[in-house]
Each structure stands twice: as C-alpha cells, then as structure tokens.
Structure 1
Amino acid sequence: MPSPSPILTSHPGAVPTPEGDPSPGVAWHYGDPLGEQRAATRRAAIVDRSDRAVIELSGDERLTWLHTISTQHLTGLADRRSAENLSLDGNGRIEDHFVLTDIDGTTWVDTESSRGESLADFLTKMVFWAKVTPAARPDMAVLTLLGPDVLSGPIAEAIGLAADATVYQAGDLPELRHDDEPLGFWRVMPSLGDRGTTPVVDLVVPESDVRAWWKLIVDAGAAPAGMWTYEALRVAAMRPRLHLDTDERTIPHEVDWIGGPDEGGAVHLDKGCYRGQETVARVANLGRPPRRLVLLHLDGSSAYRPTTGDDVNAGGRKIGRLGTVVDHFENGLIALALVKRNVPVDTELVVGAPDSPDDAATARIDPDLYTPDDQVQPGRAAVDRLRGRG
C-alpha cells in the first residue's frame, strides 16, 4: 500500500479516499465534491493520482520486447507517444491494464497501485535475453489535469504543453530547478466526462516535486479536485477501470478495449502472437463477447445504495455485474455494469437482491451510450458466404 500523498497530508480540507478504495493514500475530495466536478468540466482542475504504480523500462529492445508479450502494437510507436495496453492470461482474460509512454529512450509504465508489484514481477520474469531492464519507480507520481482550460492559457504554459498536442502525445516538462536536468513529462489522454467532452492531461513527475507542481498548477488557475471527480467523469465517459469494472472472466471486447494507439484502445487486432490472442481473434472474427459494458442510471432515492460487485437483475434473474458506482454532479447516481450482450436497452433492471426491496434499487441503461449489437463479424460473414447464406 502506497504511503499517503504529500498533498493529502498537507492540503487544507483534504478527505482521504474511503477504506478499501482502489486509490489509497490520496484525496477523495477537498470539501466540495460536486463543485470540484463542475470546475473540472467547465474550467480546470488538478487531481492527485499519486497512488498509481510507476515502472521504468530501459534498454534498446524495450518496445519490440513489450510488443511480443502484450496486446498493443508497439514496434512502430514513435518517441513522445503514449498507448494503453493489456496483459492477458492464456484464455484471453484481462490480468493487467496499463498506460505506457515512450520518451527520450525510456518507456514509462503506470498502472493500478494494487497491480504494480505483480506487473513489475511479470515483466522482469519475461525479459529472458532481451535488452531491457524493468524497474519499479516508487519515487515517481501521477497528477491529472482536467478541463477545457488545461489545453491552452496559463496552465498549458506552466507545463510546456505543445499548442498542437493531440491525444497520446507526450513531452518533457519544464525544469523546476535550474541546477537539475528536467525530469518528468506531460501526456494528453482521451477525454472524460459526459460524452467525452472534458480534456485530460497527465503529468508523471518525481514524488519529491509533487507539491511544487501542484502549487504551480493551482496558481495558474486549476481547482484542487479529489478522486471522486476523476471517477465521476470516468464513469460518465464509459472508461472502465481494472478490477472495478472488470472481473476474473472479463475479456477485452466486453469493455471495448479494442483498438490501436490512435484509437483509444489497448488491443491491436493486427499484430503477431501474444498470450490470449486466440480468444481475441476468435471473438473479433467469428463471435461476439458474452457481455457488454453499459452506463446505468440508478435510483438515488432508494434506501439501498448499490455497490461494486452487486448483481444486476432483470425479470428476477441475474444478467450482469455492477462496476464503479459514483455520484455525478449532473447525472446523479450512475454506474458502469457488465451485462449480457443481448439485454435490450429498455429492460427494467434491479441492482442488488431482487427479492428484497430493502437491499435493491432500480436502474436503467443510458440509451444514448448504447450501441445495438447487430454487426456481422468479418469471419462470420465469410463463413456465411461460403455456405450460400451471404
């Protein structure tokens, strides 16, 4: 478990994340959680995500090696570019989700705090004869900037953000101290918020500089915001999080983690062999995933507040699993859920125990973020043509 962040221990009004939260040691909010969300969507906010585990990969073969053991296509990844990536088990189920950035001859990886040690161990065991050295970097931390004002103006100038920066582009941060070499970088990430309208920029910086960067960015106009804000905007954008919105059976297609570095995905469908590829290819070409990710609007007036892992029921039968649950400043109580692929969008849902009104709440699927699953997979279409059905 990471040590409490220096922002949590020093910032007035900081309230830590709840016990058992997957982001330990950082602030849940600073006294006005819904106001912090408004600031993030309308102006700018900064979120302390220093619970993230950071791993450094050095060596000339770092990208070609990582390409062979993970789901993303990395052999052509340019300098100062980022990508999302997965590690799967032999059956194609998701074990790890991580973000990587290649900059100045080093690849930086960050992931959930609970998976940092195991991911570092896995990478180390997979080195064999490759010219690459994985190293855990607990001295590095992640800060996240949210809002329309982070891409231009004083905040962008403070971090040295390129005027034409695009999603997954990265760059060196300006020096904080003239007697040291620059250390740390910015990267532009996919937008969050309702319909993905809130820009996101991450900073990966030395832990010793977290307070200095925090003060610099707040002085430039960003409002302090807690993980509550980040989670609310993440859920509204239907961006899943490992072990909250996935379980031990989840495959990439179920949570829409398909796509290359320029598509916001973590699984490239046009690359060589990696562990779990057979399942990915079979679903992509011949079948459909058994479940799909949906955004639920929950009955906030119910006496029962649903929690992650609750059953999602329809007609008295379990049809899915509830993921992240969070209060959104405009949409009320919302959640992500994995439900059976063929559940109609207008199905009446009950979350919790369907036979006990005191332990259940009603829910509905957001129709605007629901895509009908009627596309014929390319492999299936080819088979149908061969059999005279296409």
Structure 2
Amino acid sequence: MTDVDPFAARPGAVGAPPQHYGNPIAEQRPLRAGDAIVDLSDRAVLTITGPDRLSWLDSLTSQSLKALAPGESTETLLLDPSGRVEHAARVVDDGETVWLLLDTRESGAALAAFLDRMRFMLRVEVADRSDDFATLGGFGADPLRGLGSPVAVWRDPWAEITRGGHQYAQGAHPASGWDYSETVIPRAALAELDELPAAGTLALEALRIEVWRPRAATELDATTLPHELDWLRSAVHLTKGCYRGQETVAKVHNLGHPPRRLVLLHLDGSQNVVVTPGDEVRAVVRDAETVVGRVTASAQHHELGPIALAVLKRSAPEGDVVVLAEDGEVAAAQEVIVPVDAGAVADVPRLPRLGAVRR
C-alpha cells in the first residue's frame, strides 16, 4: 500500500481523498461530461473466489446473483433478520472473482468478517483487498481513457429499474441517462493517472444527490429499510429465493408502507446558512411544528443550487419544510421520491371489523 495518495498531492487538493481542487461547483460539469475522475481510494474492495461464490452470495443477500454474467454489474444488500440494511455492496463478477465495493474501510472489514463466518463447507474464499486496490469514480464509457490497468469496472445500474426490482418514485426519474461507473485498479497504478483531470468527492456528491441515488455511508442508519430509500429499484430482487430479511421486505412491499421516506430538498440559499447531514427537518403537523426527519446529505449543485437528501417520517406532509441548521433555519421545498402511499402493492381489500354495522 502506498503511503501518499497521488491525488492529494495535486495542486489545490483539499483532503485525502480530495474533496475538491479549489472549486467544487465548477468541477461538477467536467466530471458529469466524462472529462474528469474522482479519487475514491478510501473505500473498501473485497473479493470472493471459488466455484460457489455467486450462488452462495445469492443465498445471503437481497439481489439475484446466481446467473450474474462476467462483466455484468449490480448491487446487493445484506439485511438483518428484521429486514434492516446492514451493508450495501456494489457487485461485479469477472468470471473468476466477485468484486464487492463498499463505501468505507470499516464496513468492508465488517462485511468480510461476516461472510467469512458464513462459508461453512462451501467452495468460497473471502478477502479484504482494500490495501492492494483503489477505486476511482467517473462517467462515460472510459473515464480512465485506457490508463491505470483496471482489474474490474462496476457500472451503476441506477439509470433504470433492474430485473426483479420495483420503483416507488413516480413520473420521470432524474437518473435517466446516468452512466456513472467505478473502476478498480492496483494502488500502485494511481501514479499513472497524474495527467488525467480530476474532480473532488464534493462534486460527485452533488451529482449523486441530484439523481436521488442512496448511499450506505450517508443514508443508512440502524433502522433503515430498503423501501424507505427506493432501493428496491436496483438492489433488491422481489421474486428470488430466500435470504435473511426477505419476509420483512415482502411484507412491507406487498401489505404495508415504509415507515419513512426519502425526499430531495431544494434549499433556500438566500441567507447563506449551511445545511449539514444530521440537521433536523421540521414541518407543521396538526397545527404544531415538529421534527419529522433529518438531513442525510447536502451539496451545492452547479444548476439546482443548494440541495439535500433527507429521510422523513411517512406521516410528514408532502409540502414545504424547514431545516434547523447550526446557524439558523432554512426553508426548503420538498420533492417527493418515496410517496406516502408507497408499498401495499398487493392491494388486499380491508375486511370489515367484527361487529361493524354496514350501511
């Protein structure tokens, strides 16, 4: 593992990996156009080898992986027995190895430890390769322009509903045309990319928020269900075989409603108050202002201005809200992603209560 991140040594770099190189807003346009890459080398890279790797991972997680073709990309969730999300992994198989990409080293180590305990007598081997390989983000067909000796390329399936998935968001989806990818290269090859233009992680975060893309490191907490983030769209196969947490996934989707819902907030930037993850979101409920949720991610977008993702209670009204930031209150217009009536797709008719009088 190299001690110095070559991207952090570039002129103007702030942070390691760099959050920006002097202008996080201006960096968004070239990044989205495929003319820049993002250093994600602080993220985790796991590998699973062995002839049983796909069927075994299929049995443990939310996505259908048995028939995953070499080079095909998807994502999957590891749920607890109650259906809450514990880990989210981006998945690509090269014909011999499954590559799992995770948001943080800590989550990668935790998932690797869990998977290693679940091997039993199956022909699989799990390894945390985060010290050997680094991840780079970008857009377009070839963000690295043929450089960097990639060993795996994961292409984000978020642009459309994947096979076996379901979307709660209604109307046109902003992810149409989303062609984001993550490339895995040996850490030693990072130095080969010194001539490629780079954008910071803040630019990528703004573009992600714009298309309502959930991310484990920001949107997850200890009680998150995949339905709340519209993650059935790309990370859950609703008709595959059994896996841990499947009963809750099916029950909420077919009979119930997600207890919370993801929204996009268009923030009032006129007062220059900074909204940060964890800030309370308040709304008027029954004539009283009350806390209805929290911000999970925020950004300054080059076209939309200040925006944020927030997870709200299902009971929160779908109108305007207020964000309580450290320096004051910020008015926000709410753009619904997961609607209040999401779920209950089985449309089971309600039976009259015993003893109820029919009129």
Bin of the TM-score, shorter chain as denominator length? 0.7 to 0.9
Aligned CA distance change for structure 1 residues 43 and 87 (closer, same or farther; 3 Å): closer
What TM-score do the two structures reach when normalised by structure 1? 0.78
Q: Deviations over 1:182-234 (max 9, x none)?
A: x6133322468x9224522321111111221x246x2xxxx310001110000
Task: Write the distance in 1 (CA, Å) between the matches of 2:70 and 2:218.
Answer: 32
Report deviation, 1:44: 2.0
Q: Which residue of 2 aligns with 1:105?
A: 96
Q: Which residue of 2 aligns with 1:226?
A: 200
1:8 aligns with 2:7: yes
Report deviation, 1:83: 1.1
1:289 aligns with 2:281: no
Return the letter of the residue paired with 2:9: S
1:200 aligns with 2:180: yes
Report deviation, 1:62: 0.5
Aligned partners of 1:8 and 1:15 also within 8 Å: no
CA RMSD in angstroms, aligned pairs only: 2.7
Task: Write the distance in 1 (CA, Å) between the matches of 2:2 and 2:94.
Answer: 27
Residue number among 112, 120, 136 corresponding to 1:128 in the alignment: 120
Bigger RCO (CA 8 Å, 6+ sep) = 2
Q: Secondary structure at the match of 2:219?
A: coil
Task: Write the distance in 2 (CA, Å) between the matches of 1:226 and 1:48.
Answer: 7
Q: Which residue of 2 aligns with 1:238?
A: 212
Aligned partners of 2:257 and 2:341 also within 8 Å: no
- Unmatched 5+ stretches in structure 1: 17-24, 160-173, 177-182, 260-264
Aligned partners of 2:69 and 2:95 also within 8 Å: no
Task: Write the distance in 1 (CA, Å) between the matches of 2:20 and 2:343.
Answer: 45
Q: Deviations over 1:266-305 (max 9, x none)?
A: 1111122211111101011101101111100112233542
Return the letter of the residue paired with 1:272: G
Aligned CA distance change for structure 1 residues 41 and 156 (closer, same or farther; 3 Å): closer
Q: Which residue of 1 aligns with 2:293?
A: 320
Report deviation, 1:91: 1.1
Task: Write the distance in 1 (CA, Å) between the matches of 2:38 and 2:248.
Answer: 36
Task: Write the distance in 2 (CA, Å) between the matches of 1:255 and 1:48.
Answer: 26
1:26 aligns with 2:17: yes
Aligned partners of 2:263 and 2:310 also within 8 Å: yes
Return the letter of the residue paired with 1:201: S
Aligned partners of 2:18 and 2:200 also within 8 Å: yes
Q: Secondary structure at the match of 1:238?
A: coil
1:280 aligns with 2:249: yes
Aligned partners of 1:306 and 1:360 also within 8 Å: no
1:48 aligns with 2:39: yes
Q: Secondary structure at the match of 2:209?
A: helix
1:143 aligns with 2:136: yes
Report deviation, 1:42: 3.9
Task: Write the distance in 1 (CA, Å) between the matches of 2:183 and 2:217.
Answer: 24
Task: Write the distance in 2 (CA, Å) between the matches of 1:109 and 1:117.
Answer: 12
Report deviation, 1:92: 0.9
Paired residues in the alignment total: 334
Aligned CA distance change for structure 1 residues 337 and 156 (closer, same or farther; 3 Å): closer
Q: Which residue of 2 aligns with 1:329?
A: 302
Task: Write the distance in 1 (CA, Å) between the matches of 2:134 and 2:69.
Answer: 23
Q: Deviations over 1:95-121 (max 9, x none)?
A: 111101100311011102231111111
Q: Secondary structure at the match of 1:210?
A: helix
Q: Which residue of 2 aligns with 1:57?
A: 48
Q: Secondary structure at the match of 2:26?
A: helix
1:307 aligns with 2:276: yes
Task: Write the distance in 1 (CA, Å) between the matches of 2:148 and 2:86.
Answer: 37
- Which has more helix, going by share of residues? 1
Return the letter of the residue paired with 2:110: S
Task: Write the distance in 1 (CA, Å) between the matches of 2:120 and 2:231.
Answer: 28
Q: Deviations over 1:36-90 (max 9, x none)?
A: 1121234522111111100110100001111111111111111111110111111
Q: Which residue of 2 aligns with 1:168?
A: none
What TM-score do the two structures reach when normalised by structure 2? 0.85
Return the letter of the residue paired with 1:211: A
Aligned partners of 1:312 and 1:352 also within 8 Å: yes
Aligned CA distance change for structure 1 residues 38 and 235 (closer, same or farther; 3 Å): same
Task: Write the distance in 2 (CA, Å) between the matches of 1:254 and 1:386.
Answer: 29
Q: Which residue of 1 aligns with 2:155?
A: 188
Aligned partners of 2:281 and 2:291 also within 8 Å: yes
Residue number among 321, 330, 338 corresponding to 1:349 in the alignment: 321
